[in-house]
Chain A
Amino acid sequence: MDKIHGRASLRVDATPQAVFDLITDVDRLPEWNTAIEKVLERPPGLAEGVEWTVKMHPPRMPSWTSISRVEALDRHHLRFAYETRNGDGNPSRAKWAWEVTGAGGGAEVNVTWDVDLKTADRRYFGGPIRKRQLAREVPKSLTAMANTVTARGPEGTNWTDEGRGDPSRMGRDHAAPGA
């Protein structure tokens, strides 16, 4: 296995902008991404080319650091894409692309992932394992994301700037919801 491809989508009862703001809020990733334990480093603002680092910890698996680099951030069309690599220096890469559109008074979220496995071990061992994990994790994360954004109220827009620039929010130790 050289590559992994996947896709998931979900309808959310919130405005597309509220959904997009949550997805692109690095500080809040551990609240809804069931594989992320905590944010280790983040940029002061999200823009193309900047990076953030998280501690990944899928349930019942060892943790690892993951570094992501923004490749596209289109706040007008609500598109967000980034490339992720393992903090251990493995040359394998994953490209994630998110798109949020309006649908029936709410939002529809579409996410795709394309993983390029560069080493023999990752191709033979890590790839099949991660493929199964992602097939479970991503739908759970989307559901958790929807619950998170709708819990903030029907408009879901009054939280987007919470904590930005507050160093006390760095490195907080959230347990992954599914861990």
Chain B
Amino acid sequence: MRRRVLDTAGRSDAAQWEDLAARALAFLPPYRPVAGSPVYHLRVDGGAIMVSEYDLFGPLSDLVTAVLAVGEAE
């Protein structure tokens, strides 16, 4: 299990992150885990979702990639 967290509070680019998160969570794919494939647990503010890697696309994929790349280990 690999965890990354990003706190937008105080960031100069908080608006971009919050816009991306809003777009990512606007249209959520159904949870369809695939054996042998990663599952991503996303928590944004008070909400939480799970999504299979096969269903990561568009803004959701951009959000996960960005948080994994620049987020801090929890």
Contact = CB atoms under 8 A, between A and B. Distances in A.
Given A88-B57, A124-B16, A125-B20, A62 B68 contact: yes
B64 to A, nearest CB: 6
A69 B63 CA distance: 27
Interface string A94-128: 00000000000000000000000000011011100
Contacts, number: 44
A60 interface: yes
**Interface band, chain A:** 10 to 19
Contacts of A125: 16, 20, 62-63, 65-66
B62 A61 contact: no
Contacts of B61: 62, 64, 88
Nearest to A65: B57
Nearest to B20: A121
Contacts of B38: 62
Contact of A129 (B2, B16, B20, B70): B70
Given A62-B38, A121-B20, A126 B62 contact: yes
Contacts of B56: 62, 64
A147 interface: no
Please classify the interface of chain B as helix (H, G, I), strand (E, B), loop, or mixed, using the class held by over half of its residues: helix
Contacts of B10: none
A89 B68 CA distance: 22
B1 to A, nearest CB: 12
B2 A121 contact: no
Contacts of B57: 64, 88-89
B59 interface: yes
A126 B61 CA distance: 10
13 contacts: A61-B68, A62-B53, A62-B64, A62-B65, A88-B58, A88-B61, A89-B57, A121-B20, A121-B23, A125-B16, A125-B66, A129-B65, A129-B66
Given A62-B53, A121-B62, 11 more contacts: A61-B69, A62-B40, A62-B61, A64-B57, A64-B61, A88-B58, A88-B61, A89-B58, A90-B58, A125-B16, A126-B66
